[in-house]
Amino acid sequence: MAITAALVKELRERTGAGMMECKKTLVETNGDIEAAVELMRKTGLAKADKKAGRIAAEGLVAVATDGNRGVIVEVNCETDFVSKGDDFKAFVQSVADVALAANPADLDALMAANLGGGTVEDTRKEMIAKIGENMAVRRFVAMTADTALGVYLHGARIGVVVALSGGNEDLARDVAMHVAASNPMCIDESGIPAEAIAKEREIVTAQAADSGKPEAIIEKMVDGRMKKFVNEVTLVGQPFVKDPDTTVGKLLAASGATVTAYVRYEVGEGIEKKQEDFAAEVMAQVKGS
């Protein structure tokens, strides 16, 4: 039987599933829409798509490595309870492993990559149907180190991967631990956005001007405060967490090493969480009744 656009549209309206899933299911059921609805309910595809709009800001970060290659991923769910479950943990790690093995070009390619008997996307939807929460593979980054790759996980909510040129794995892991704790903006001054530099200079200039000191002194005050700002936000300028008497830059220099790249993921960062106001909710219900 021909799978028409009208048939696909009807199935989408009845199940809330995506167009491609609807078309695929109709092909499998030879255009029988009742059978297609039943199949989608059994497999959880309809259920998964209906949950897609719910905010998933909890979750886990996972890392997979192979020598000097590494991948870090973030997968989200709706509640902390689910993020602690063995099934969800296993899924997140499997996504990281697939990302390392398949070397996908982007997130769409990762979701289309093979995982078990289907794709990562298929498994995600199966997980939603099984656990009952929206889930999302949010992001991933792959990197290769010239010399050593450092990995640090703080629980499973903060993860860092650091690539070094020079040095060794112990140094790379120490730097990764520092990044997890101090969250630098970038590696060095060259990585600070020009607008951030301009804004900070504007602020410290205004502060220095209020001191009433001569112009020459004010210029020196601004230069000093800008240098302090650069050290505070850059990896190489920050005091090393395990030895605050030295900076990360000096630690690296002592081993003839440089950081070529790093990634720091923290679960849910940048996701706007729904704020529940239970008092307002109860009041609304009272007024409604």
Condensed to tens digits (0 to 9), the pLDDT of residues 90-142 reads: 999 999 999 999 999 999 999 999 998 899 999 998 888 888 888 999 999 99
Q: Choose from 19-23, 52-56, 173-177, 280-284 the range with maximum mean pLDDT.
A: 173-177
Q: Which CATH number fits domain 5-50: 1.10.3720.10, 1.10.540.10, 2.60.40.420, 1.10.8.10?
A: 1.10.8.10
Q: Where are the domains of the chain?
A: 5-50, 55-144, 145-185+239-270, 193-233
158: CB partners within 8 A, 6+ apart: 61, 180, 264, 265, 266, 267
Q: What is the mean pLDDT of the chain?
A: 88
Give yes or no for residue 208 having a pLDDT over 50. Answer: yes
pLDDT band at 53 (very low <50, low <70, confident <90, very high): low
**C-alpha separations of 265 from 27, 75, 86 in Å:** 40, 11, 21
| Residue 75: its H or E element | strand 69-77
Q: What is the DSSP letter of 204?
A: H
Q: What is the pLDDT of residue 270?
A: 85
Identical fold, 55-144 and 145-185+239-270: yes
Q: The whole model's pTM is what?
A: 0.75
Q: 3-state class of 154 per DSSP?
A: strand
Residue 228's pLDDT is 94
For domain 55-144, is the CATH number 1.10.1060.10?
A: no
- Residues 207-230: what's their mean pLDDT? 88
As a CATH number, domain 145-185+239-270 is 3.30.479.20
Task: Decide if domain 193-233 falls under CATH 3.90.1210.10.
Answer: no
Residue 63: pLDDT band (50, 70, 90) is very high
Within 8 A by CB and 6+ apart from 236, the residues are 187, 188, 247, 248, 249, 252, 259
Asked if the model's pLDDT at residue 233 lies above 70, the reply is: yes
Q: Which value, to the nearest 10 degrees, does the dihedral of the CA atoms of residues 177, 181, 187, 191 take?
A: 150
